Structure 1
Amino acid sequence: MSTEVNYLILFDKKIFQFSGVERFSALIGLAEGIKVDNEKSEIIFNSSIFSYSLTSEGDRFKNHETELFDLQIESRKNEQDVENLFQLLREIRIIVSNQKGTITPVFDGVSAYYAEKAYPIIHHIENLMRKLYTKFTLVQLGPKWVDSIPNEVGVSSKVLPNGHNPLYDFDFITISELLFKDYPTKQIDSVVLTNIKKGTISPEDIEAYMPTSNWERYFSEMVDCESKYLENRWKKLYSLRNKIAHNKLFSKSDLSDVKKISEEVKLKLNQALETISSANVETVSLPTPKDTEVLEGELCQDSTPTVEAEDSDNNLGGLVTLALVGAFLGAIARA
């Protein structure tokens, strides 16, 4: 198999001094380390031999003020030749830039080569994240493990056919939200607010109402790693994954980043997986259903009942906002 690259190269005839295929190919051959053999239609660079084709549309469009070259280079599909092709293309881009020309990639097999190398790595790390969440919650909750998926992340149906894992319906970035998205396991209602006012709720009890990620709840003490460390790296992998998914230019440097970041993430996920069987987790809290009566229904009504003046101290009123309550709960939890 081979790796192909196709460039369309455009020059302004008024300033370009190497018009025609022979003169332009000779210009390319002047670069250090590049040898052009027009008879064999080959370019030799760093001991790699590439077949190439160079045609000009200049003769066809004599009245145009530009000259268009169609350059195609083909490499054997092995790591050394592809790396040499990558460097050769960089030299060609420098030559074109020095002549004030422009390059439009029509087909970039080098990007495809590196993307093909990167995809299995990303695929593996994505499924490793699924494995960690599924295995942990299934061990802790049994058949109810699906109910542990936060409402903020969402699942279309929790009545699933046998053998189906809903996590495979989630895309790459949503998988990370299972571990890193902050959410409360209990919703604030009027009873909680009353207990806060009375001072009868402890910081330990407040924790269930504080948005926290599953990683911080269950894994941070078992694995020496903060959730932000993994979350930030997962976002970088997501960006690199999108380059592959949307056929963006993908370089050797991108492949190196995928390898490096994936190894960092895999190390922490594997450490977490090793702790599952021995994890001393008393309970896994399930998210409160969305239709549970929450603070908004209590405090954000358009109209509030009339309250006698002497009872106003005991009424929490419609003036309390979610932001203030959140800040207050945070202060209590940190105390």
Structure 2
Amino acid sequence: MKTNYVFEVLCLDSSEKSVIKNEKNLAYSLMANGDLWIEPKQREASISDEKQNLTLGIKQLSREEESDTSLKNTFLIKCKGDYEPLEVFRLRILAHLKNQGYSYLYILSDDVSAKISCEIYPKINQVENQLRKYLIKFFITKLGVSWWNVTADAEMKKKVIQRKNNETDFSEYIDNKAYLIDFNELGKIVHSQSSGFLSRDDIANKVLALEETPEAIKTLKRELESNYTKFFKDTFKDKEFQQKWEELEKIRHKVAHNNLFTAKDLERSEEICKNLFDIIKEANEKIDNISFSLDEKDLIKENITQNFASYNVISEEKLLEKLDESESWAAKTRDNFVSLKHFVTNFLGSQGYDYRSSYDLINLLERKGLVELWEFKGPNNLYPVTAIRRLKGSLAGQEGLAKLKQEMKN
């Protein structure tokens, strides 16, 4: 087990409010705080506490080392010790330094937070994969292979297209769409998404039982669009799945951004993960008890048919023709590029072509080396925009070149 965890803090006094002028002053100030130590011993600019197995060193940075000449005093404090005492010590020393009038405090390194983060992530990963496993199993067995088309919203489908190159090994053999959406969207499939059908009787019964209040009407709107009530009331909603999942999402963001953690964060993460794991496990055990009536299955089929019947599937020849038209138009504009999203949703979509099949065909044409997807960064764009252009002349149809470009992207 690791010992000598490190916690480093940079203290800056830009207003001269602090009465501490040198390393010894700061050491005396820290020694005087009884909340920090059990049996401290000071030697010059260092403090040790054998009872807690903590050591602390102080270094005052010279003016020449300071990049901002307005800074009056700058100190670097480095603490070392075992995990448990240092975990508590961190916030206490920060509170003390703040009370001494330091204008700015910066944490430079924190091994304790790193340890906590590494313990939290595997638990979140396990819960996330368990829910993904459950949802794939549930919707495949209940709705069939078209479950994604009637369950995922437009934003999820868009992200799957954008992230298709994030994983290229397994995707050659499997349908990996459920692995390309975000953590919160995985939870939304349970608590917020509609899977494409509600019977007229469902709606009529809800309206007849509705309280005549604005809040009740808002609630009805949410429920009419949610899987929560339709499929998962007993297994998820009654156990406050959404609240727990959204709280875990916030912790997951902290882990992803290498944020700072306390022992309470670890305890809470373990508690939420256990609760969610138990909810998903119990739901999985009851999965066979959920069945759809013939009317519900007919509504699903009708919805899927409408989704695909309302749009036409564009051919390869027609798509390239439309891309040529878009590029000719773009050549007359200031930025001179064709946005992939605008091309598929606005240009092709407005002419009755299905988004999903258009994106699929574009991916195929990219692999063939007939079109190129690239990142446009213009003065009018805050973020890079995925753009599309046709490859012509000697570059067209070179699948090897397209593969090489793909490898370079990865």
**Normalised TM-score (structure 1):** 0.68
> Could you say what secondary structure the match of 1:173 adopts?
helix
Which of 244, 257, 267 aligns to 2:278? It is 267
Q: Quote how far apart the aligned CAs of 1:202 are.
A: 5.1
Q: Residues of 1 paired with 2:156 and 2:100: CA distance?
A: 55
- Higher-Rg member (1/2): 1
Cα shift readout 1:27-55 (whole Å, capped 9, x = no counterpart): 2112215214437955327x321343311
Q: Quote how far apart the aligned CAs of 1:177 are.
A: 1.8
Q: Quote how far apart the aligned CAs of 1:182 are.
A: 3.7
User: May I ask how many residue pairs the two structures share in their alignment?
Assistant: 272
Give unpaired runs (5+ residues) of structure 2.
165-170, 206-220, 312-410
2:240 alignment partner in structure 1? 229
8 A contact 1:42–1:52 mirrored in 2: yes
Distance 1:51 1:141, change over 3 A: same
Give unpaired runs (5+ residues) of structure 1.
76-80, 188-200, 295-335
8 A contact 2:151–2:193 mirrored in 1: no
Q: Following superposition of structure 1 onto structure 2, how do residues 89-168 of structure 1 map, counting pairs within 5 Å?
A: 89-101=90-102, 102-152=104-154, 154-155=156-157, 156=160, 161-168=172-179
Cα shift readout 1:62-89 (whole Å, capped 9, x = no counterpart): 98661110111223xxxxx323112222
**Normalised TM-score (structure 2):** 0.57
Cα shift readout 1:258-289 (whole Å, capped 9, x = no counterpart): 22222222222111111113434446636545
8 A contact 1:132–1:273 mirrored in 2: yes
Q: Following superposition of structure 1 onto structure 2, how do residues 1-335 of structure 1 map, counting pairs within 5 Å?
A: 1=2, 2-11=4-13, 14-32=16-34, 33-34=36-37, 35-38=40-43, 41=46, 43-44=48-49, 47-58=51-62, 66-75=72-81, 81-101=82-102, 102-152=104-154, 154-155=156-157, 156=160, 161-183=172-194, 185-186=196-197, 203-204=201-202, 211-221=224-234, 223=235, 225-226=236-237, 229-282=240-293, 285=300, 288=304, 290=307, 293=310
> Could you say what secondary structure the match of 2:240 adopts?
helix
Cα shift readout 1:236-257 (whole Å, capped 9, x = no counterpart): 1111111111122222222222
Of the two structures, which has the highest relative contact order with CA contacts closer than 8 Å and spacing of 6 or more?
1
Q: Residues of 2 paired with 1:40 and 1:14: CA distance?
A: 21
Q: Quote how far apart the aligned CAs of 1:153 are.
A: 5.5
Q: Quote how far apart the aligned CAs of 1:163 are.
A: 3.2
Higher percent of residues as helix: 2
Q: Which amino acid is the alignment partner of residue 189 of structure 2?
A: L
Q: Which amino acid is the alignment partner of residue 203 of structure 1?
A: D
Cα shift readout 1:123-166 (whole Å, capped 9, x = no counterpart): 111111101101112333454444453344643479x7433432
8 A contact 1:53–1:72 mirrored in 2: yes
8 A contact 1:151–1:290 mirrored in 2: no
> Could you say what secondary structure the match of 1:48 adopts?
coil
% identity of equivalent residues: 19
8 A contact 2:195–2:227 mirrored in 1: no
